[in-house]
A and B are shown apart, each in its own frame.
Chain A
Amino acid sequence: MADAWTLGTAGSVHPIDALNVDCAVDAINQVGFETCYHCGEALPASPVLLDVDGSVKGFCCEGCLAAAQWIRSSDLGDYYRLRSAAGARVDVELSDLAVWDRDDVLADHASPVTGGLEITLLTDGMRCAACAWLIDRALQRVDGVLDVGANAVTGRIRLAWDPARVPLSSVLERLTFLGYRPYLASGAVQEREKLADRRRWLLRLGIAGLGAMQTMMLSEALYLDVNHHMALYTRDFFRWVTFLVCTPVVFYAGWPFLLGAWREWRERHPGMDTLVAGSTLLAYLASAVETVRGGEHVWYDAAAMFVFLLLCARMLEQRARRIASSQVDALARARPALAVRERPDGTRESVPLTALQVGDVACMAAGEAVPADGVLLDEQAMFEEALLTGESHPVAKAQGAPVFAGTVCHETPARIEITRVGSATRLSQLTRLVEQAQAHRPPLARVADRVGSGFVVALLIASVAVFIGWRIHDPSRAFEVTLSLLVISCPCALSLAVPAALAASHGALARLGVLSLRAEGLDSLARATDIVFDKTGTLTRIDPSIGEVQTFGGMSADEALAIAAGLERDSGHPIAAAFASVLTLRTASGLRVHAGQGLSGRVNGAEWRLGRGPFAANQDDDGRLWLGDGTTAVARFTLEERMRAEARVAVNALRELGLRLHLASGDAYGAVERLTRQLDIDDAHARQSSEDKLALVRKLQAEGRVVAMVGDGLNDAPVLAGADVSLAMGEGASLAQRAADMVLTAPSLLRIPAAVQLARRTQRIIRQNFAWAVGYNVLALPLAVMGQVTPSLAALGMALSSLMVTANALRLMRVSVPESSP
């Protein structure tokens, strides 16, 4: 993140003429640290300038400038001091917010509160706590807003407003105006349910903590009475008080474990919860029996500490996963889904997606997604199908050609006649494939469960045997020895071994920029032997780069590039990104975009055209980019896909980790072939449909390999769901992210080898923890069976062994984040 504070010249501002400033900005641009004051993106050739606190700051667009001016005039300038990340770019055209005022949207997502309605929104621009602060302050000043709560961690905004005084759209207008686009969260009911659930867990944790502390303190008094000087009635008084404090801990705080154990018993599958609930209840009930009998020992402290430690582990694990899933929700970007329908008389209306019927005519503006499958009505249009098929170039379609839902209309507006809606579209077929593939995942043996249920059964049998043995040998001590055995083998460490390690590594993964959505993913990633890559959008970037440059008529290639870059720079054209790396001092004036053809403008006093052959240089259209004056050509650019800068390093790192690499792409043979040569991948497949990719993964799995899949598109979603473990790119389609185990939020492939290494370390730590826990039990059990261990010593050993396991797991928190290349 470039530092936006070193910009500008301190002191008074002289009226500098615009050209000079442009040159100055250009010169700085070449150094590469001149960025927009508000959003931190690179400045265009002619930035918008504003005098901020006596120094000139540049802005990338009017939207950012307006946002900054409003923030300053509202006395919220502290935002710029407090923030730790740049804001989000502000789109000058405010998107159509009227949708939010529709009654059906409000009915589904808002809930009545005193004085108005409340809604929870997601936004993708909240980067740090300062953003949350700014949103809070800015929205609270809108007349009619009752309450705002923005949470930067989960990216959610809770907004209560009075619909009688202000429509929701005008509140959201201010939000959009600051660069935060609102999206729909899941329904209000689910949001409230999530929050209530979190609070319940927190209450349990607090009560377990306070209760366990008191229980420990009171037990300590009993433990310290080694020589039994304490009067019996005092001892029993202490025990009854401990019983009182311990009861809510076991039955209220420990309720989730009791419930889980009940479920496991009903399913005839004893697991971790059975173990936890069983030991807790045994320690508690045995203590209660001893208290009534006036027996030798009580073990209330063991029960309370046990519940508390396990709740901590569960909370940690849950928290990591909740943050991950709420961020993915924010990536999913649900909006009130609308399509533009053309009425028979030619006028247009916005309708909800569900209202579209077969035979309707739908219209898309350039850059909008296609709402349903259909056939094209226009002469010609371009569609970006990269997410659906993996094809890297926009596809030109003629009248009558099929157009698919989920593809993006490119360059020109288009009209389609709808042929399939809802669940019949190709997109929905992919969604169904995802569900099927997920259902047929190779079953994963949960090592903890396996060990757990075996352990439980063995332990129960052993304690019955020990009890019978001691009954014969020395009836007075039988009960006490059996209890010691149960306490000492109380599988604290065993049940903490996995959750503690998982919680630590989920946290480390999140810092790496990998969100882990399913707990099993980490385990499979550690065992992966093969990794299958998608090409477009994964190993390569979706936006093109300039390959070959041919010039005609004596112009140098650099000159041609400079002119083209000057034209493209502020055009907002989809291919402008290809020229972003070309440094040029030229700026174009009189720029015009000719939809579907190219651009024209004046550079250095001459009229230029850049675009398709017939338009720019009177040549045949060969799919390349021509530069000319409309009649004669001076240059021809071949655009090709850009490999991600770090792809080679990442692929080599994965190879060193011992993974076999495969490439499966929906793109043509040539492009796949080129990339395979560049990256030196042995096994490549081109022209793969979703089903072909899935078959490839299934074939590998049948050979006994554990397959990891990395992809980004809709067409990868079924494969992502079918592979043993899958990673989706954060910039890709939301369906792909829902199907994957992990989502890469950092746009860097280097995070994949880092994640694999972390997964393997996690596995090692889990094994160490298991070894320790089992070793401790193997050592302590015979001693307990011999009657050599007092229950208090057993409880101490148990606590120490839990601490060991947790400390070992915390070693996973240390992780070095690989530098991502821009």
Chain B
Amino acid sequence: MIILLMLIPLSLMLLAVAIGSFVWAVRKGQFDDMETPAIDILREDRPFPPDAEHTEGRGHG
């Protein structure tokens, strides 16, 4: 049963990491739009034509 003294704090640490990463993701706006990114994988990436100087945004916010 002594092993529990190590395993339980370990699981609590994992829980803290999970919650921390979830909070980070929400704050970063990862969950603001659940629809649009789904179709992004369907297109082939090609370089932008030089129609205007493209400013790198953060992508989907």
Contact = CB atoms under 8 A, between A and B. Distances in A.
Contacts of A146: 55, 57
A129 B35 CA distance: 6
Interface stretch (A72-80, A273-281, A673-681, A811-819): A72-80
Contacts, number: 103
A231 B12 contact: no
A345 to B, nearest CB: 42
Interface residues on A, range: 35 or more
A145 B55 contact: yes
5 contacts: A141-B48, A143-B52, A153-B35, A160-B57, A214-B11
Given A129-B39, A151-B36, A206-B22, A143 B15 contact: no
A650 B57 CA distance: 50
A356 B44 CA distance: 53
Given A141-B48, A158-B61, A133 B4 contact: no
B6 interface: no
B45 to A, nearest CB: 10
Interface string B6-33: 0010011001001100110011010111
Given A140-B57, A241-B8, A210 B18 contact: yes
Given A75-B48, A78-B44, A244-B12, 8 more contacts: A130-B39, A140-B54, A142-B52, A149-B33, A160-B57, A206-B23, A241-B12, A245-B15
Contacts of A198: 32
Nearest to B61: A149
Given A231-B1, A241-B12, A129 B38 contact: yes
A148 interface: yes
Interface in A142-188: 142-153, 158, 160
Contacts of A140: 54-55, 57
A143 B53 contact: yes
Given A146-B57, A199-B27, A74 B51 contact: yes
A259 interface: no
Contacts of B29: 199
A220 to B, nearest CB: 13
B61 A207 contact: no
B54 A132 contact: no
Contact of A234 (B4, B34, B39): B4
A439 interface: no
A144 B55 contact: yes
Contacts of A143: 52-53, 55
B25 to A, nearest CB: 9
B60 to A, nearest CB: 6
A684 interface: no
A603 interface: no
Contact of A147 (B39, B43, B49, B57): B57
B26 A141 contact: no
Given A143-B55, A195-B32, A210-B19, A149 B60 contact: yes
Closest 7 CB pairs of A and B: A147-B57, A78-B43, A149-B61, A132-B36, A151-B33, A206-B22, A143-B52
A237 interface: yes
Interface string A227-254: 0000100100110010011000000000
B56 to A, nearest CB: 8
Contacts of B27: 199
A144 B55 CA distance: 7
B19 A74 contact: no
Contacts of B60: 136, 149
B57 A133 contact: no
Given A74-B49, A234-B4, A241-B12, A203 B40 contact: no
Given A140-B54, A195-B32, A203-B23, A73 B49 contact: yes
A202 interface: yes
A695 interface: no
Nearest to A161: B55
Contact of B42 (A73, A78, A145): A78
A160 B58 CA distance: 11
Nearest to B48: A141
A649 interface: no
B32 to A, nearest CB: 7
Contact of B33 (A81, A153, A214, A245): A153
B13 to A, nearest CB: 12
Contacts of A147: 57-58, 61
B55 A150 contact: no
B29 to A, nearest CB: 8
B51 A141 contact: yes
Contacts of B40: 133
Contacts of A796: none
